[in-house]
Amino acid sequence: MMSEIVHVVKVGIADMNVVKAPYVIRTCGLGSCVGVVVYDLAKEVAGMAHVMLPDSSLAKSEQMNVAKYADTAIEELIRRVIGSGGRNGHLKAKMAGGAQMFQFRTGTTDMMRIGPRNVEAVREQLQRFRIPIVAEDVGGSSGRTIEFHPKTGILLIRTVNQGVREM
């Protein structure tokens, strides 16, 4: 029996990309970052963003990377998925990451809660564009790698020391 060759498109940190089946899309190194997938299952198209920070008002340079911030990444990701054949009103989302990677003994400020703040910001943006989150694996304190299959709508999540889950 011949095994199927899987073509993987990688998404780097603070980056985004869009694929159509049979391609799959993957991002690694999700600690406090959030990996968000926006997809149209019937059209077998999906986009993934690796969001580092919640809010682009934190941007310091004029050359802003839209994929880096939840408030700019989600809007651009939706635009790209629709540009590749996805249909507004048929889009769904899955997300993973947003871990609290470091434990602080004293006075945890809001700035240190970057993982939970990323998760909240991504949720807000998806809600703003009326895209339902159909599955999520967020929080905790472990890093994750995620891989999305636009043909099946399955998100594979590899969590450090916990193996692989499907959602």
Are the CB atoms for 142 and 160 separated by under 8 Å?
A: yes
| Residue 40 main-chain phi, psi, to 5 deg | -120, 105
**Cis peptide leading into residue 22 (ω within 30°):** yes
Query: Which two structure tokens, joined as six digits, stand for 81?
Result: 């998925």
Side chain identity, residue 9: V
CA 51 from centre of chain: 7
Helix (H) or strand (E) holding 5: none
3-state secondary structure of 42: coil
Which one of 33, 78, 121, 138 is the catalytic residue?
33
Pairing of the two strands 34-40 and 154-159: unpaired
Distance CA 32, CA 35 (A): 10
Examine the residue annotation and report whether 33 is marked as an active-site residue of this protein.
Answer: yes
Q: Which residues are catalytic?
A: 33
